[in-house]
Structure formats: structure tokens, C-alpha cells
Structure 1
Amino acid sequence: MADTLSSESEAVAGEPRDQGARILTPHTALKRVVMLVNPLSGGVGPRAVSEAEAILAEYTLETQLMVLEGGNYDAAIAEAFAAAPDVVFVLAGDGTARSVASKARPDGPMIAPLPGGTMNMLPKALYGTGDWKLALRRALEEGEPQTVSGGEVAGEYFYCAAILGSPALWAPAREAMRTGKVKLAWTYGRRALKRAFTGRLRFSLDGGQKRRAEALVLISPMISKAMEEPTGLEAAAMDPADAAQAFRLAATALFSDWRHDPAVSTRSAKRVDVRARSRIPAVIDGEPLLLKSEAGVRFVPKAFRALAPRPPAAEDSV
């Protein structure tokens, strides 16, 4: 469910711009925006609704702000799309942002996922910040349509990375430690240790030879440092020689550049088939889930359109 808090900003599209209005992006014509806000999400806070209203009121836009409440947001997302906006801003958890983006598809409105979750992998990749207010302003003032590619596994879309296998079990522990929940981190860590090394993955890339690995990381072209063009997912197989090496890779799988490690091999793939003896733990754009013992992953070259600043040129990002 959603509560529509505000239907219009003080300045409506088509009317003369107020002298004090901030200048919108010159790269696309923005007239109507919808913003979905979940104040209960970990990275948002109770003042986010009023703060978002205040920021949007600085621009000459027709705006609608919808507060997400309850647990089923499908109706609210459908209502947001039905309003036919130029862009839908999402200030909520990582899972909600992924859900909105996956429903938009390439022919839908532009999506602007702001950092309102815990890991915020997609917002940080698009806006380079964990500050949702700064990301909102960057989208409004510097944004242009950006085609975002990604992947899909078991009906779940991801736009940054999917980690399959035992190292995925360490992501909740690491996040709990980052937020100061030491007891919870210890619980997650013990669970990860129990599951580690109990079931290696068997996988094939684009129908090729079957291989085994402790874990498989699938990285979108938007995140990958190894791919210059969106021609597939970067598939990184982790194959540690012993427990100590596996622990090191698991601890850094999401948070450092581990591609130069001799226990990691990478290549591009459009289709990945994965099997294991038991259900496969996974982390999809920061969200943990449990897959069946067999899973297929496919590359989605045009997943949705984001409103975001143009990425820096390759020579500028080195």
C-alpha cells in the first residue's frame, strides 16, 4: 500500500519558472516525477518524506510523492507507473529498488534508485554516493537516460552482481558487523562456517565445458572493471586451494578487487548454468536468497533505463 502525500510541487510543469527554482538537467525533458519513499527502510529515516518534498519543491516539476507502507508494494509500484511519469525515484531498500527497476523494463519510465538500503550497490554505482539527497540532486540536475544491463536468475533481476555459493553466506555477517550488530554478525558467521565447503558448485558458461568452483560471481558490465562493452556478464569462478584461502576470498568477495588473485578466473558469458548437491546460497545486488539446487543465469543487455549522470570516460576512471 502507499499513501500519496503530495500531488504537486509549488511549481507545475508548463508554468513560468520561479526566479529561485534550481535548473533541471539539460539532457532530458523532465516534467512529471513520482517518488516512492519507505521511511522504515534502514537507510532512509523518519524525516525523509519531508526532506524529499522540500528538495523536489526547488525544481519546476509536477511531482507526486508516495509513502510505502505495509509489506506488499506491488500495488504502489503499479500506481506509480500508472501516473505516467518521466522518472520514478525510489528511496527504499535494495530489494524494493530492484523490484521497481525490474518492472519498468526498457520501454517504461526512467528509474532513479536512491541509496535507501543497507548495501546500496546499484545507487552507488549510478550516483557514486551513499547520500540519497545528493544522489537525488545529481539525477535532477545532471541526469540523462542511461541503459542499464544486468542479469536474471530464478526470476530475480540483478544490475550489479550476483554471488552464488558459500561466500555469499558471509555477506549478512559482514553487513551486521558494519552496522555494529556484533552478536548478529557472530550468528551469521557461525552459520557461514557450517555451510562452507559442504557443496561445491558445478557450472558451465554458454553451454561450454562443465567446471567446479567454491563460488561463482556474476558481475554486470556497469560494475565490471574487466569489460569495456555490455556484451555479457563477467563470470568469476573462485576456486581456493584450502580453507584459509577460501576464507580470505569469502571475506573480500563483495568489497575489494580480488580478480588478480590466483584462485580466481574470469571470462564473459551470456548464459550460465549452475548445479549443486543442495540449495545454493546467493546474494543478488546485496539481497540474500536461497536458490534451488539447479539455477540458470542469463544476461539482460537492456534491463531498464536509469536517470543518472553519464559515467566518466574510461581514461578518466583509471
Structure 2
Amino acid sequence: MRMKRIDVVVNTASGSVGADAPEIAERLLAEHGVTGVVHAPTPDELVDCLRAVIDGAPDAVLVLAGDGTARTAAEMAGADGPLIAPLPGGTMNMLPHALYGERPWEEVMRDCLSDGEARMISGGEVGGRPFFVAAILGSPALWATAREAARKGRIDLALARAQRAFRRAFSGRLRYALDGRPKGKAEALTFLCPLVSRELDADAQALEAAALDPSGAVEVFRLGMNAVLGQWREDPSVSVGLCRAGQIWAHGRIPAILDGEPARLDMETSIRFRPEAFRALVPATR
């Protein structure tokens, strides 16, 4: 697709973004003959800059920043705004990896400029907050730092963080009612968007919902090992289904992770599927 104007927003203070990123982005725009402006706001100016850029209605906005900023840009643009390309510039890069795979941001940007097309992305919303990859509610949300340490091969650090998370774990199970089905209880709930779910087609009109309810430390350990092996759906403490809308209750505020970013939700919150969340700019070959 031919784009007349592209804006690039770079957070040079984010995760894996270097100080030379704005200069590299300008060079890539010039190489592809695209008219555009590269913005490098300070962290305090970042949200206001995104708002101004998106309100300016360019053909596309490329965002080189962390997970929270990527989610904010997609939310601001919505289904009717400019195309959004969340380039991997953070630590976890959940949305960029879901859209483009684990590749350097320069490579992704080059492909989007040379062979980009629009793709409507669905998502979810919990407690009024959007997510486009996954939401985790309950005590496992406290285990994110342990998981990252394990992913990097730091098993000693992962165990220490896991022990700390276990001591701080959310006391009391979640209550939930999804799509009018009978109410249930679980230690945690996870919701996967069609973009990343292995069980749903990309155009599925629902979230994949899983209720995790291990009864003790042994089952928690088994579930963790199954998750590492990618077999968590087969674990006997997991119930899987679809969700378009539902309600969730707890005795206190609910710890959560939304697209890699920690959050605290009210003790009573709602969940819903959003069939048209935002339009992403993706290489036509993906």
C-alpha cells in the first residue's frame, strides 16, 4: 500500500531503544522515499506526543517503545484511526512479537515500509483497560519477574523470585461468570486474544479463556512445568473455553498483567471481547 505520510514516535529511554534510534528511523524513511517526521519526546511528554501525532491523522504511526506505550498507541488509534506499527523497543515486546515475530526493530520497520498492509486486530478489555495479546488475572500475575529470569536462563534468580511471589500471592480465589455460564471459582484467569491463541483462528470472534485452579504447592509446580513445556491446556487444574463477555469478583483488588504490563483491577470488574480494536501495519508476507 502506498503511504503519503508516516510519523515515528521513539522513546529513547525504553528497554532496547538506543540513543541513535531517531537517526536510524529517519534514514529508513528516506531510503523508502516516505515523507515522515520522527519524534523523540521525553518520557513525560510521550503520551501527549502520541495523542498529537494520532490526532494529526497520518497514514501510519510507528511506535518504538515498550509494551505499555504500544498498547496506549493502539488504544488511542482504535479501529478508525491511523495504522499502528508497534516496533519492538521494550523488554518483553509482547504485541510486536505477536505481530512480527522476534526480530530487530530496524528489520520490522524496513519490511513495513517496503511491503506493508493494513490488518484489523481484535482484542479484549478488562476493567475498561484494553489488551491485544493476553491478560492474566490473579496470583500468577505476581510471577512475571520469575518467568523472565527463567526465560533468560537465570534459574537461581527465577527460584528466588518465585518464592517471593508465592509468599505475596493473592489470598482468596477469583469468582467469575463468563458468557452466561454458571459461576465458577479459580486461583487465576487468563484470556488470550485470537492474535496469539494456538486454539483460535485469527478471525475468531471470542477470547480464549482459561481458569487455573491448582489446589496446592505440588499442583502449582506441575502447572508451572506444563506451562514451560507449552502443555498448560492439558493440565487437570485448567478449564478452557471461549469468552465474549463476563464478570469477575474478588475480596480485594485483583493483580493483573495486561500485554506484559502489571496492573491492579477493582475487586469487581468486567471482561469483554473487542472484534475491531485497532488497525496494524504489517508486512504483507506475514
Check whether TM > 0.5: yes
1:277 equivalenced with 2:251 (yes/no):
yes
AA paired with 1:125? A
Per the TM alignment, residue 91 of structure 1 is displaced from its structure 2 partner at its CA by 0.2
Q: Which residue of 2 aligns with 1:8?
A: none
* Counterpart pick for 2:221 among 232, 235, 247: 247
1:300 equivalenced with 2:274 (yes/no):
yes
CA contact (8 A) 2:11 2:46 kept: no
Mapped partners of 1:295, 1:195: distance in 2: 22
Per the TM alignment, residue 142 of structure 1 is displaced from its structure 2 partner at its CA by 2.6
Instruction: Indicate the SS of the match to 1:267.
Output: strand
CA contact (8 A) 1:169 1:188 kept: no
Structure 2 vs 1, CA of residues 82 and 198 (structure 1 numbering), >3 Å: closer, same or farther?
Answer: closer
CA contact (8 A) 1:177 1:185 kept: yes
AA paired with 1:150? G
1:152 equivalenced with 2:133 (yes/no):
no
User: Rg bigger for which structure?
Assistant: 1
Mapped partners of 1:92, 1:123: distance in 2: 10
Question: C-alpha deviations, 1:67-101, integer Å up to 9, x for none?
Answer: 02032423201221233210000000100010010
Identity %: 48
1:59 equivalenced with 2:32 (yes/no):
yes
* Counterpart pick for 1:40 among 5, 13, 16: 13
The equivalences for 1:57-206 within 5 A come to: 57-176=30-149, 188-196=161-169, 198-206=171-179
Per the TM alignment, residue 283 of structure 1 is displaced from its structure 2 partner at its CA by 0.6
Q: CA RMSD in A?
A: 2.3
Mapped partners of 2:93, 2:61: distance in 1: 17
Per the TM alignment, residue 295 of structure 1 is displaced from its structure 2 partner at its CA by 1.3
Mapped partners of 2:89, 2:280: distance in 1: 16
Question: C-alpha deviations, 1:193-216, integer Å up to 9, x for none?
Answer: 113362211111113211011111
CA contact (8 A) 1:153 1:298 kept: yes
AA paired with 2:13? L
Per the TM alignment, residue 269 of structure 1 is displaced from its structure 2 partner at its CA by 0.9
AA paired with 1:246? V
Per the TM alignment, residue 225 of structure 1 is displaced from its structure 2 partner at its CA by 1.1
AA paired with 1:282? A
CA contact (8 A) 1:126 1:309 kept: no
AA paired with 1:213? A
Mapped partners of 1:301, 1:69: distance in 2: 33
Q: Which residue of 1 aligns with 2:4?
A: 31
TM-score, L = length of structure 1: 0.82
- Counting matched residue pairs gives 285
Q: Which residue of 1 aligns with 2:180?
A: 207
Mapped partners of 1:292, 1:46: distance in 2: 38
Instruction: Indicate the SS of the match to 1:71.
Output: helix
AA paired with 2:15? G
Per the TM alignment, residue 182 of structure 1 is displaced from its structure 2 partner at its CA by 8.9
- Whose helix proportion is higher, 1 or 2? 2
Mapped partners of 1:243, 1:181: distance in 2: 22
TM-score, L = length of structure 2: 0.91
Mapped partners of 2:265, 2:188: distance in 1: 13
Mapped partners of 1:254, 1:107: distance in 2: 38
CA contact (8 A) 1:151 1:233 kept: yes
* 5+ residue gaps, structure 1: 1-27, 313-318
Instruction: Indicate the SS of the match to 1:73.
Output: helix
AA paired with 1:162? A
Instruction: Indicate the SS of the match to 1:174.
Output: helix
Mapped partners of 1:167, 1:266: distance in 2: 17
